[in-house]
């Protein structure tokens, strides 16, 4: 929990800028402003809440669209006059429908950011089945078949690695990652749950 009393509220008349960063892939999603009420509401509700300077009231991101920003952590910078908010977006962050207010197809975005995007696509195929979609048909086949596919792709990836065929290893690894994401969704597990476990294992 952020110690609100440490924040320097005098520089901007009781407000501080808050930079919201994707908790999984590190992309900057948006920038807003928070006062003490906004920070308290954010920490109490678990959903990122700002202070609207134009309306002079609190507003929770996603309260009308449903595209909430689920709080992971909030911390202050070295001068205690700016906040860094790590969050998991429930959908597009920008009102224009893009993932980030700094561009939906920013070439500066790390390639790794495609993994959570792919996870969202897989979730959509699970929640809104479409028989034209291989992913939807895979979900329909059941978790046992999905697990079997992960096993098959794992073996093929191992064989590609053993053979020393670089391109084949890349292709098989991509297949394995995709099917693993489908299996995680079928088991109600998110990618960041797995990443958090990996991170915990490597704490100094």
CATH no. for residue 122? Answer: 1.10.287.1080
Rounded Cα distance, 44 and 1, in Å? 10
- Strand (E) or helix (H) holding 126: helix 114-127
66 neighbors 57 (Cβ within 8 angstroms):
no
CATH code of the domain in which 38 resides: 3.10.20.810
Residue 1 confidence (pLDDT): 78
Q: What sign has the CA pseudo-torsion 19, 24, 26, 27?
A: negative
Parallel/antiparallel/unpaired status of strands 83-89 and 16-22? parallel
- For residue 100, being part of any structural domain is answered with no
The pLDDT of residue 106 is 52
Q: Are 182 and 135 in contact (CB under 8 A)?
A: yes
Contact 86, 21 (CB under 8 A): yes
What's the total number of domains in the chain? 2
pLDDT value for 148: 97
pLDDT along the chain (204 residues), means of 10: 88 93 86 96 96 93 93 94 94 88 62 80 94 96 97 97 95 97 96 86 78
Inside any domain, residue 95: no
**pLDDT value at residue 42:** 96
The answer to whether residue 97 is domain-embedded is no
Asked if residue 186 is part of any domain, the answer here is yes
pLDDT value of position 109: 55
Domain limit, last residue, from 89, 120, 153: 89
- Residue bearing tokens 């300077």: 53
For residue 186, the enclosing domain spans 111-201
């Amino acid at each position: 929990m952020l110690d609100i009393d440490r924040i320097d509220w005098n520089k901007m008349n009781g407000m501080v800028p808050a930079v919201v960063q994707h908790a999984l892939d590190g992309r900057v999603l948006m920038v807003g402003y928070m006062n003490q009420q906004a920070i308290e509401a954010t920490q109490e509700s678990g959903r990122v809440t700002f202070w609207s300077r134009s309306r002079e009231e609190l507003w929770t991101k996603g309260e009308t669209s449903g595209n909430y920003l689920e709080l992971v952590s909030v911390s202050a910078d070295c001068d205690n006059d700016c906040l860094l908010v790590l969050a998991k977006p429930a959908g597009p962050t920008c009102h224009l429908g893009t993932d980030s207010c700094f561009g939906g197809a920013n070439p500066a975005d790390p390639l790794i950011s495609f993994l959570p995007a792919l996870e969202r696509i897989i979730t959509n195929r699970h929640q809104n089945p479409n028989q034209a979609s291989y992913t939807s048909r895979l979900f329909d086949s059941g978790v046992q078949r999905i697990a079997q596919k992960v096993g098959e792709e794992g073996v093929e990836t191992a064989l590609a690695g053993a053979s020393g065929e670089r391109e084949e290893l890349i292709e098989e690894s991509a297949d394995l990652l995709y099917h693993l994401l489908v299996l995680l969704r079928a088991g109600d597990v998110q990618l960041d749950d797995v990443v958090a476990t990996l991170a915990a294992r490597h704490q100094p």
